[in-house]
């Protein structure tokens, strides 16, 4: 069974940093994509950063570009989201998503709260 677990959220002051982790298990296909989504109160869930694990291709939305960085440790089956210079508008529940050519899976959310 494919499982994803997101962790690393917490409460941080504006300008601070957090690193989120998405640990995967039960999946053996090498070329797949992991995308971090977030959902703020009253907002739609949006994809903000992704990585194609097979070749390391990365993509970001403009709102976090230059502040967040996605990376993958394939030996640990884990994808990270390093979040620097956090802003109050980054407050949201963050989710990880795994997708390949034939399937898609979601992890549970981890709360990130940024105070001013």
Per-residue pLDDT for the chain (116 aa), expressed as one digit of tens each? 889 999 999 999 999 999 999 999 987 667 789 999 999 999 999 999 999 987 889 999 999 999 999 999 888 889 999 999 999 999 999 999 999 888 999 999 999 999 99
Question: Given this model, what pLDDT does residue 75 score?
Answer: 86
Question: Given this model, what pLDDT does residue 29 score?
Answer: 62
Question: Given this model, what pLDDT does residue 88 score?
Answer: 97
Question: Given this model, what pLDDT does residue 98 score?
Answer: 95
CB atoms within 10 A of CB 53: 21
């Amino acid at each position: 069974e494919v499982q994803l677990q997101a962790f690393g959220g917490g409460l941080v002051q504006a300008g601070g940093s957090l690193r989120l982790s998405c640990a995967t298990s039960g999946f053996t296909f090498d070329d797949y994509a992991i995308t971090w989504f977030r959902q703020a109160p009253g907002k739609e869930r949006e994809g903000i950063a992704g990585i194609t694990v097979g070749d390391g291709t990365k993509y970001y939305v403009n709102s976090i570009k230059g502040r967040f960085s996605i990376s993958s440790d394939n030996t640990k089956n884990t994808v990270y989201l390093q979040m620097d210079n956090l802003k109050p508008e980054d407050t949201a529940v963050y989710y990880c998503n795994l997708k390949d050519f034939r399937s898609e899976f979601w992890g549970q959310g981890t709360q990130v709260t940024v105070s001013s």
